[in-house]
Chain A
Amino acid sequence: MTILTQLKEQITAQLPKLDMVIGWEQGYDALHATPLFMRAAEDVERLQIGPLSVHNTATYLTGLRNKKVGLVVKGCDSRAVVQLQQEGLIDRENVVVFGFPCDGVADLTKVRRLIGDVGRVEEVETTPTELRLRVDGREEQVAMSDVMADKCRRCQYPNALVHDHFAGKPREPHATSDDYTDVQEFESQSLETRFEHWKSEMSRCIRCYACRNACPMCVCRDHCIAQSRDPHWVTQDDMVREKWMFQVIHAMHLAGRCVECGECQRACPVDIPILALKRKMNKEIKEVFNYDAGVDPQAIPPLLSFQVEEENINERGW
Chain B
Amino acid sequence: MAEAKYISNDKLTAWLDELAGKMRVIAPTRQGDAVVFAPYASGQSVELAQEATAPPKSVVFPASEDLLRYDYRKNPENLGQVDVELLPTISPEPTLVFGSRPCGVRGFLIFDRVYDGATYKDPYYLARREATLFATIACGQAENACFCHSVGSAPGDATGSDLLLTPIADGFVVEAVSDKGAQCLESSLLEAAGGKADEAKAFREKALQEMGEPQDFGPAQQKLLELFDDMGFWEDVSAKCISCGACTYLCPTCYCFNITDENAGLTGRRVRSWDNCMSFQFTLEASGHNPRPTKAHRLKNRVGHKFSYYPNLHDGIIACCGCGRCIKSCPVSVDIREIVTKAMAHQPPAVEEAAK
Residue positions of A touching B, CB distance < 8 A: 20, 27-29, 32-37, 55, 59-60, 109, 112-113, 116-117, 119-121, 136, 200-201, 203-204, 206-210, 212-214, 221-222, 227-229, 235-239, 263, 266-267, 269-273
Contact = CB atoms under 8 A, between A and B. Distances in A.
A269 B55 CA distance: 12
A117 B48 CA distance: 12
Interface in B55-90: 58, 62-64
* Chain B interface residue bracket vs A: 35 or more
Given A120-B141, A214-B242, A35 B332 contact: yes
Contacts of A121: 144
B54 interface: yes
A207 B54 contact: no
Interface in B8-42: 31-34, 36
A151 B51 CA distance: 29
Contact of A206 (B50, B63, B258): B63
Contact of B244 (A29, A117, A212, A270): A212
Contacts of B239: 20, 35, 37, 60
Interface stretch (B102-110, B273-281, B348-356): B273-281
A210 B145 contact: no
Contacts of B62: 238
Nearest to A36: B240
Given A28-B333, A237-B262, 13 more contacts: A32-B333, A34-B335, A35-B239, A119-B146, A204-B34, A206-B63, A206-B249, A207-B274, A208-B250, A210-B331, A214-B244, A269-B331, A270-B31
Which 3 interchain pairs have the tightest Cβ spacing? Answer: A119-B143, A222-B280, A267-B331
Contacts, number: 145
Interface of B: 31-34, 36, 49-51, 53-54, 58, 62-64, 141-146, 236, 239-240, 242-246, 248-250, 258, 260, 262, 271, 273-274, 276, 279-281, 327-329, 331-335, 337-338
Contacts of A209: 244-245
Given A206-B249, A210-B331, A227-B279, A237 B271 contact: yes
A34 B242 contact: no
B250 A37 contact: no
B144 A267 contact: no
A40 to B, nearest CB: 11
Contacts of B276: 208
